[in-house]
Each structure stands twice: as C-alpha cells, then as structure tokens.
Amino acid sequence: MNVPQIRLQSISGQISIHTTKAQQTMEQPKASLSIEQPKAELSIETTPSKLSIDQTEAWADMDLKHISRRIQEAAEQGKQDLLEGIARRAQEGEQLKKIENGGTPITDIAKRGSSKPIQPINIAFIPSAGSVKIDYQPAKVEIDITANKPKIDVEINKPIIGYEAGRVDIELARRNELHIDFVSEDKGE
C-alpha cells in the first residue's frame, strides 16, 4: 500500500537588529571674568622742618653789633660813667673839704686822674661758647591711605549639551519559509 507522506521543511525567519548608540556631548565654556583694581588713594601732608639760628650774641662777642644795640650800650655806658663821675667828684670834694686834716689830697686826686687802668689782653674775634642759639623743630609727615577693593565681575556660561538619540533598526533578514512536499513511496510491488 502506498501511503503518501508529507514532508515539511521549514526555515525559520531571521531578523537583523542594527543599533546606533546614543551620543552625548558636553562642553563647558570658561566663565567670563573681569577684574579691575582701582588705585589706592594716598594723601601725604608735610609740615616743613624749621631751623632758626640766632647769632646775635656771637656777633656781639666779636664786636660786630647792630647799630641799635651799639646806641643802647653807649647810652647805658654814658649813664654809668656819669654816675661814677658824680660819685668820684663827690668823694674828691669830701677829701678836699677835709684838707685841714693833713695829707696830700690834691696830689692823690691828680695821680688817680692821670693813671689809666691796665686793660686785660684778650682775643676779641672769637665768640664765647654757647653764644649761637639754635632752635630746631623737625618736619611732620602725615600719610593717609585709603585702599580700594577690587571690582570682580563673573559671568557664568551654561554648559553646551548635545544629545543625539540612539536608534534600533530591526529588519527582516530572511523570511520564514515552509516547504511542503508530498512524497509517495513505491516499494516495488
């Protein structure tokens, strides 16, 4: 007996999957920075020093006096000499008034009037020590500084982000197939 056979041959379907990875890029621009440093304010006030030198006495010691001082000294010396002369004449008058007491008052008076006192020898062109008076006031310096703070401006830049989404491509690489064959087998009868 001949029994037909069915032969089934199937080929599975195949799919192909292609993936494209997602890409992300990030870029961070530098911040914009501005720095300004204003100059400090400086104020300097100086009071100048003061030096005064008084040489009046030194010049007077060297007999180089001002005319007003010479006039004043001459007036004082004249007054002193006048008073001494009056006193001397009064004393001489007293001596002459008592001439009867004996002695030689006239010759004594004549000797005193004719003899000059001996003047001491001295170097007159060297001033005495301490005759120059010096007064010094040092300078004063006042410094005023005002520091100014720096001006800093910062502008932050946002990051630049790029994103490209990934993809998945699915395709049918091979269709599924089913082959059906009817085969009859003959056994040689």
Instruction: Flag whether 54 is in a domain.
Output: no
Residue 127 has pLDDT above 90, yes or no: no
The larger pLDDT score, comparing residue 63 to residue 27, is at 27
Distance CA 92, CA 95 (A): 5
Instruction: Flag whether 113 is in a domain.
Output: no
pTM: 0.38
Instruction: Flag whether 69 is in a domain.
Output: no
Structural domain range at position 30: 1-38+149-183
CB environment 115-135: b (16+ within 10 A), e (fewer): eeeeeeeeeeeebeeeeeeee
Chain CA centroid to CA 142, Å: 12
Domain count, the chain: 1
Secondary structure in 3-state letters for 14-40? EEEEEEECCEEEEECCCCEEEEECCCC
pLDDT of 189 = 47
Distance CA 91, CA 112 (A): 12
pLDDT of 68 = 87
